[in-house]
Chain A
Amino acid sequence: NAGVMQNPRHLVRRRGQEARLRCSPMKGHSHVYWYRQLPEEGLKFMVYLQKENIIDESGMPKERFSAEFPKEGPSILRIQQVVRGDSAAYFCASSPGLPNTGELFFGEGSRLTVL
């Protein structure tokens, strides 16, 4: 299965701990996007990355959140000092880059619960 792989699928953290969410894009895809989904809400764009570059992070909270997509390995969304409001489903999506049509391929998400 060469789909978008996210792990962990479920993550429980206590307030103040760190959460790391990983995403491996589809084979051949060089663009990665992170979205957050809150209950009863649609998907909110967080960040768009290409290998080793952050292209657009306009949807990322200014503090505690960071993302990277290294040359080797998966993309990582890192949330430091988690708070209850961070509880959500975090989805990663990838695209091939070219042609850049806006079509995305989604992973199954990582569901973060903050106690």
Chain B
Amino acid sequence: AQSVTQPDIHITVSEGASLELRCNYSYGATPYLFWYVQSPGQGLQLLLKYFSGDTLVQGIKGFEAEFKRSQSSFNLRKPSVHWSDAAEYFCAVVPLYSGGGADGLTFGKGTHLIIQP
């Protein structure tokens, strides 16, 4: 069965330090890949997405993610975090065999990012 794994439930990073959030998926073929961010009490906002082409994608708020087919991973990175980055981060995938439609969208359980001053 298809699945999305975010191995880290909580991550604590000092302000100004670099960040990497992990995401692994299991599908038969390369899916569409997304990272969403959810601030407390808010809905989800799309950070970035990968459909095809360059495996390093840039998103909003200074985030980037790299698709690695050999590792079935799509890790999210940021060189220097700010206190406002504290939030819940969700990786999501849509398998192409579903036609790419959002009804096939599967979310990971999320990683809670805590920023230390």
Contact = CB atoms under 8 A, between A and B. Distances in A.
B10 to A, nearest CB: 10
Contacts of A56: 103
What secondary structure prevails in chain B residues at the interface with A? mixed
Interface string A3-33: 0101000000000000000000000000101
Interface size class, chain A: 20 to 34
Contacts of A48: 102-103
Interface string B25-39: 000000010101000
What secondary structure prevails in chain A residues at the interface with B? strand
A106 interface: yes
A106 B110 contact: no
Interface residues of B, number: 27
A105 B107 CA distance: 14
Interface in B92-113: 92, 94, 99-110
Contact of B49 (A6, A42, A93, A103): A103
A91 interface: yes
A101 B102 CA distance: 7
Top-4 shortest CB links A-B: A102-B94, A106-B43, A42-B109, A48-B103
Interface of A: 4, 6, 31, 33, 35, 40-45, 48, 55-56, 91, 93, 95, 100-109
Interface of B: 9, 32, 34, 36, 41-46, 49, 51, 90, 92, 94, 99-110
